[in-house]
């Protein structure tokens, strides 16, 4: 609650919260899933749960790319980079994510050439400047980052830069939503749709959710007022027994998406028949691999990816948390063996992971820093 006074649009927020209370049927329990990890972070950070009536539950969805990546993919990437001639590049978010044999950062401490890049273009530049080394970029992300990786691969091909490859771990959001709707233990009434993914894919790809599954979905921005406004819109639809796709984030998201970005993705990537998601299992056609025409720049086709599969530590209940069956603090390891400083599961690594968000904003409210010895 304490953030509310600081909001630029405190008046709008108070009004939206009041509207939510008016629209919500007190005899009904609502489960809304925010698909995107950015929304999860915002919801905790702004304490938005405190503004909602208790019968509106927000379920945190699969939209944190670091969190849904199976541990074995990290081991695969690091294993392919064991050759001392290879420079392993990844975004900073990946550096502390544990593989079965340690995180990229721990591999760096053991002598591997591991570097943080902030853009895939910089990985390509690194290859250009180190012609006698091989630069492997560990690519990750939903449709927000996949077009950039695609464009970089197109440049690598056009400029014939041969000492560069991409290990693609890109995933797509629609099949994950489908898997959630197909899962028997999940009952979601409506969706808070992702904001930035939608700048690329637009709003059309969500139409089946409304039409075939009868679930409202509202593409939503990241300010507190945006998220509350979106809850109002979802409640209005449910009240009118409607299910449609609405765009609350019109100021940034065009209904048709970004065609140039979609073209780049289609040029470089094709759907994998299936891909494993951490905590959710294998989902058909849910990830992107590099097409044959770019095989030379595909780390998986160029090197041998061992195809490591690592089961998460038994005591960790990342899967249940990821599916919204358990709250983060209901996991046995939460706040004990697993903390943002020493993450066991990926949900604790990324600030967009529901465990890290819960830990930073909810847990610390009740357990002051001194008692848990944290240092962030």
Alpha-carbon span 267 to 20, nearest angstrom = 44
Query: Which residues face 191 on adjacent strands?
Result: 33, 217
297 vs 303, beta carbon nearer other proteins: 297
7 vs 274, beta carbon nearer other proteins: 7
Question: Which of helix, strand or coil describes residue 121?
Answer: helix
Burial group, residue 50, by CB count within 10 angstroms (0-12, 13-18, 19+): exposed
146 vs 308, beta carbon nearer other proteins: 146
Closest distance to other proteins from the beta carbon of 45 (Å): 6
Q: What is the dihedral of CA 85, 91, 94, 100, to 10 degrees?
A: -20
Burial group, residue 208, by CB count within 10 angstroms (0-12, 13-18, 19+): middle
16 vs 210, beta carbon nearer other proteins: 16
Site residues (CB under 8 A) for other proteins? 3, 6-8, 37-38, 41-42, 45-46, 64-65, 91-93, 116-122, 125-126, 129, 140-141, 144-145, 147-148, 151, 195-196, 199-200, 222-224, 251-254, 258-261, 264, 351-352
- Residue 48's alpha-carbon distances to 29, 39, 41, 57, in angstroms, are 17, 11, 11, 11
126 vs 321, beta carbon nearer other proteins: 126
Closest distance to other proteins from the beta carbon of 92 (Å): 8
66 vs 238, beta carbon nearer other proteins: 66
Alpha-carbon span 96 to 113, nearest angstrom = 15
Tokens coding 194: 């992702």
The total number of residues written for the chain in this structure: 376
Task: Return phi, psi of residue 12, to 5°.
Answer: -65, -40
Closest distance to other proteins from the beta carbon of 329 (Å): 21
Question: 214: alpha, beta or left, given left = phi > 0 and alpha = psi -120 to 50?
Answer: left
34 vs 189, beta carbon nearer other proteins: 34
Alpha-carbon span 35 to 28, nearest angstrom = 22
């Amino acid at each position: 609650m304490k953030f509310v006074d600081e909001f630029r649009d405190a008046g709008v927020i108070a009004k939206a919260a009041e509207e939510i209370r008016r629209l919500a049927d007190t005899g009904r329990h609502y489960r809304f899933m925010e698909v995107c990890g950015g929304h999860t972070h915002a919801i905790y950070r702004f304490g938005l749960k405190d503004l909602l009536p208790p019968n509106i539950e927000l379920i945190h969805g699969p939209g944190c790319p670091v969190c849904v990546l199976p541990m074995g993919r990290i081991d695969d990437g690091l294993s392919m980079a064991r050759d001392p001639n290879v420079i392993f590049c990844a975004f900073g978010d990946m550096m502390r994510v544990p593989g079965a044999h340690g995180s990229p950062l721990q591999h760096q401490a053991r002598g591997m050439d591991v570097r943080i890049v902030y853009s895939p273009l910089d990985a390509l530049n690194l290859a250009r400047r180190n012609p006698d080394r091989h630069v492997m970029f560990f690519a990750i992300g939903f449709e927000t980052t996949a077009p950039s990786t695609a464009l970089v691969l197109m440049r690598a091909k056009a400029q014939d830069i041969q000492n560069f490859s991409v290990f693609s771990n890109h995933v797509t959001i629609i099949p994950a939503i489908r898997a959630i709707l197909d899962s028997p233990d999940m009952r979601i009434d409506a969706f808070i749709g992702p904001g930035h993914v939608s700048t690329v894919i637009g709003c059309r790809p969500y139409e089946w959710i409304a039409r075939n599954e009868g679930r409202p979905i509202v593409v939503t921005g990241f300010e507190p007022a945006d998220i509350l406004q979106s809850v109002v819109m979802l409640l209005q639809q449910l009240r009118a027994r409607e299910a449609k796709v609405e765009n609350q984030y019109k100021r940034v998201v065009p209904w048709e998406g970004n065609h140039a970005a979609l073209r780049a993705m289609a040029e470089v990537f094709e759907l994998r028949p299936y891909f494993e998601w951490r905590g959710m299992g294998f989902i058909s056609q849910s990830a992107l691999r590099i097409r044959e025409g770019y095989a030379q720049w595909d780390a998986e086709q160029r090197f041998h990816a061992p195809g490591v599969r690592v089961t998460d530590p038994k005591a960790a209940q990342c899967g249940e948390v990821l599916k919204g069956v358990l709250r983060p603090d209901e996991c046995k390891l939460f706040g004990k063996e697993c903390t943002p400083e020493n993450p066991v599961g990926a949900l604790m690594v990324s600030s967009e992971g529901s465990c890290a968000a819960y830990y930073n904003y909810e847990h610390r409210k009740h357990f002051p820093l001194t008692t848990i010895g944290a240092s962030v």
